[in-house]
């Protein structure tokens, strides 16, 4: 039924009463209308649950599949130890059972190989950075490599090779210390070797010999440590 009502000053009749509330149009004063409807729909989409958001992005919900994808991403371009991957999965709140399943599978197929990792680490860090066995052991331990695996990897370096590397390190730094007095040169060079993991005895012997070859008198030279 149509209700006829005279609006003050208009002389016009409104549309039939549909039972809905008044339409405030699209003006900015009321904040309703088409613009408000779009904002409301946008808020509804953006306030969805985390699970629905992940589903829209195509992320797997299965924790085993999640763990697998995380490990593959981390292994892209650089090898990692089992502990490094396990720590990453734990940080991302992957259940322990799912993490263990994936890590064990990756070990079975050779994607995780702590022994190969340790061998490559020793080769790279000794020849590339000149690190001694003591420093290499410390680094591999922080990466979660088993002690027996570390010992085997470190075994590829003998004391003669380590001392030869120490001599090369000192030879490269020797020229930059020539403006210093003898004692300061000794401390500077021996300290550099110590930071790379060389023992005090070897460091002092190598530096003394290098200074003597340059004509320095090392008699009574003070201990740097």
Candidates 164, 165, 97, 104; CA nearest to 131 is: 165
Q: Between the CA of residue 84 and those of 81, 104, 113, 142, 144, what are the distances in Å? A: 5, 14, 12, 9, 7
Q: What pTM value is reported for the model?
A: 0.68
Token pair of 144, please?
Answer: 């979660």
pLDDT of 53 above 90: no
Whole-number percent of the chain with pLDDT over 90: 61
Max distance between CA atoms of the chain, in angstroms, equals 119
Residue 100 Cα to chain centre, angstroms? 21
Token pair of 30, please?
Answer: 């009321």
Q: What is the pLDDT of residues 9-49, one digit of tens each?
A: 344 444 434 333 333 333 444 443 444 444 444 444 444 44
Q: How confident is the model at residue 77 (pLDDT cuts 50, 70, 90)?
A: confident
Q: How many CB atoms lie within 10 A of CB 196?
A: 20
Alpha-helix residue ranges (DSSP H) falling in the chain: 33-46, 50-57, 63-75, 82-91, 96-108, 114-129, 133-142, 147-154, 159-174, 182-195, 200-213
Mean pLDDT for 170-180 is 92
Token pair of 48, please?
Answer: 């969805």
Q: What is the pLDDT of residues 84-139, one digit of tens each?
A: 999 999 999 999 999 999 999 999 999 999 999 999 999 999 999 999 999 999 99
Confidence (pLDDT) at 57: 57
């Amino acid at each position: 039924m149509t209700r006829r009502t005279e609006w003050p000053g208009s002389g016009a009749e409104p549309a039939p009463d549909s039972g809905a509330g008044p339409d405030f149009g699209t003006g900015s004063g009321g904040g309703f209308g088409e613009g408000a409807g779009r904002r409301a729909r946008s808020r509804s989409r953006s306030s969805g649950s985390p699970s629905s958001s992940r589903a829209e992005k195509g992320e797997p919900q299965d924790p085993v599949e999640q763990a697998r994808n995380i490990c593959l991403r981390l292994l892209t371009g650089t090898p990692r130890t089992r502990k490094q991957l396990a720590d990453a999965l734990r940080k991302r709140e992957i259940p322990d059972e799912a993490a263990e399943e994936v890590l064990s599978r990756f070990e079975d197929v050779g994607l995780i190989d702590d022994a190969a990792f340790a061998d490559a680490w020793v080769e790279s860090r000794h020849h590339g950075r000149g690190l001694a066995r003591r420093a290499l052991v410390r680094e591999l331990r922080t990466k979660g490599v088993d002690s027996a695996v570390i010992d085997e990897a470190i075994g590829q370096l003998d004391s003669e090779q380590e001392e030869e590397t120490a001599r090369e390190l000192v030879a490269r730094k020797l020229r930059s210390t020539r403006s210093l007095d003898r004692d300061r040169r000794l401390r500077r060079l021996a300290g550099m070797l110590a930071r790379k993991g060389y023992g005090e005895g070897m460091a002092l012997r190598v530096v003394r010999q290098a200074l003597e070859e340059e004509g320095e008198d090392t008699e009574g030279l003070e201990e740097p440590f």
